[in-house]
Amino acid sequence: MDYAENILGTIGNTPLVKMNKLVEDLPCLVLAKYETFNPGNSVKDRMALQMIEDAEADGRLKPGGTIIEGTSGNTGMGLALAAIVKGYKCIFVMADKQSKEKVDIMRAVGAEVIVCPTAVEPDDPRSYYSVSKRLGEETPNSWYVNQYDNPSNAKAHYESTGPEIWKQTDGKITHFVVGVGTGGTISGVGKYLKEQNPNIKVWGVDTYGSVFKKYHETGIFDENEIYPYVTEGIGEDILPKNVDFDIIDGFTKVTDKDACVYTQRLAKEEGMFLGNSAGSAIKGVLQLKEHFKPDDVVVVLFHDHGSRYVGKMFNDDWMREMGYID
């Protein structure tokens, strides 16, 4: 009989899927690393489990403890699933720009969720960074995850996602394209792939309102680049330790409107019901067209599932209110 011991045994080994209609104008093969096949429907299941297991191993997370984290939703889901199996409590802190579905889903799996304002500075005591850190200090027998600076985040992708992509493409991958938030995925996968073949190009997809692209190009952290944006799960107003800028060859920025429009197009033209950052990612690939040649194999990673955005990107009334469709 072939079965997993529990739900955590189904994390990883997600398929590669060929992109067709949306990439007709590109000269190369484009393959999607389809991370919604993880049990929590996102790539974050991988690093959530890794961070928990590493914290258990060195005593930061003790039996019966409480896991505390600031999350845009997907890391929280991954942590919650592992916590259920392993017997921990969860408190998650989110910014109010995240979709209602994400809050509801995390509460559905037993987590306590606290919602904080988006439009405040990262060091403001009301920000989701500050609130999660404070709760970690105040809550007895708790562990504050800090996915942004936790090295187990990138480690998970170095040990699982990267090797999977290398094996699935038979070592023929030439470009890896992915949205960048905490930096764990791009840094872990990118490090592994470049160790196999240093000629592989690693491209990050950034959003307007985020500091990554300018910092990568100039070394300047420009606060004038920072302003609120709609796109969920990618971009930052801080520099997480997990973003290894030396591994990244370049960034392309995608607008909020394009991210939302292409999220809809993925569903309607490719049958891929995916989250908001997937729209950013595929538009980023299209923007990088001049970098691709006929024999290239481009892998783009799609982070999460469309069910988390039904009230936003998949709601035409919301799209019209935002001015994204006529």
Residues tagged active-site: 44
Which residue carries 């990673």 as its tokens? 301
**Residue 179 in 3-state DSSP?**
strand
Using the 8-state DSSP alphabet, how is residue 244 labeled? -
- How far is the C-alpha of 48 from the C-alpha of 111, rounded, in Å? 14
Q: Which residues of 122-133 are buried (b: 16+ CB within 10 A; e: fewer)?
A: eeeeebbbbbbb
Strand 29-34, strand 16-18: pairing: antiparallel
How many residues belong to the chain? 326
- How far is the C-alpha of 45 from the C-alpha of 157, rounded, in Å? 11
- How far is the C-alpha of 116 from the C-alpha of 95, rounded, in Å? 5
Instruction: Please report, for residues 174, 279, 282, the alpha-carbon distance to residue 177 in angstroms, rounded to integers and kept in the order given.
Output: 10, 12, 9
**Residue 47 in 3-state DSSP?**
helix
Helix, strand, coil in percent for the chain, rounding step 5: 40, 15, 40
Strand residue runs (E) in the chain: 16-18, 29-34, 66-70, 89-95, 112-116, 142-144, 175-179, 201-207, 250-254, 297-302
Tokens of 253: 């920025």
Using the 8-state DSSP alphabet, how is residue 145 labeled? -
